[in-house]
A and B are shown apart, each in its own frame.
Chain A
Amino acid sequence: QSVLTQPPSVSAAPGQKVTISCSGSSSNIGKTFVSWYQLLPLTAPKLLIYDNDKRPSGIPDRFSGSKSGTSATLDITGLQTGDEADYFCGSWDSSLNVVIFGGGTKLTVL
């Protein structure tokens, strides 16, 4: 069982917006930064968001992140079929002294 909690799946139609949540606690999200990753089969995972809301170069602004208290969200607007993937949030837990990830959310673009 993952320290960070994500919904197992979300879905939306092309062009629509989807929000993926990531819930943690005061020893992780509540204390430090959140990052988001996209996993596609047979490809290297891609960093989408770091420091809660920053995008690496090359990541389109359709992807945005935010954090409030002990939870974080990843928003994806203008959904494309190519966005179908697994999405993971990540952080650091100061009590466990480990890097932690969510259980992952499978995005389906209907």
Chain B
Amino acid sequence: QLQLQESGPGLVRPSETLSLICTVSGGSITNIDSYWGWVRQPPGRGLEWIATIYYTGTPHYNPSLKSRLTIAVDTSQNQFSLRLNSVTAADTAVYYCARRECSDISCVFDHWGQGTLVSVSS
């Protein structure tokens, strides 16, 4: 059974960089039909897609966050990561990592981590 687990600091200071890692187990991050992504949910608000990456390293960023984002994949560790710089209180959210499985006609987030709360505060 595919499992994803987020890890990283729960508190980040304003203007600093938020860094998270997602460890994938029970399957390979190099699966050809799989993309890997990040989604967040600010308190009391809806889900927001952040970014997605393929195992070859090709990223796809949400334009609203692109200037502050870096997503990367480490196939040797079966992990992918997120870096969001110059954070503000508006970046406080539960951050989820997820697999985006793609068929010939569509893509869907079919497996998710349980999420990690990241608070931005001094």
User: Could you tell me which A residues sit within 8 Å of B by CB distance?
Assistant: 2, 32-33, 35, 37, 39, 42-47, 50-51, 56, 88, 90, 92, 96-104
Contact = CB atoms under 8 A, between A and B. Distances in A.
B25 to A, nearest CB: 13
B108 A101 contact: no
A92 B49 CA distance: 10
A50 B108 contact: yes
Nearest to B5: A44
20 contacts: A2-B46, A35-B109, A37-B47, A44-B4, A44-B111, A44-B115, A45-B96, A45-B115, A88-B47, A90-B47, A90-B108, A96-B63, A98-B49, A98-B63, A99-B39, A99-B62, A100-B49, A101-B47, A101-B48, A103-B45
B8 to A, nearest CB: 17
B52 interface: yes
B47 A47 contact: no
A47 B115 CA distance: 15
Nearest to B64: A98
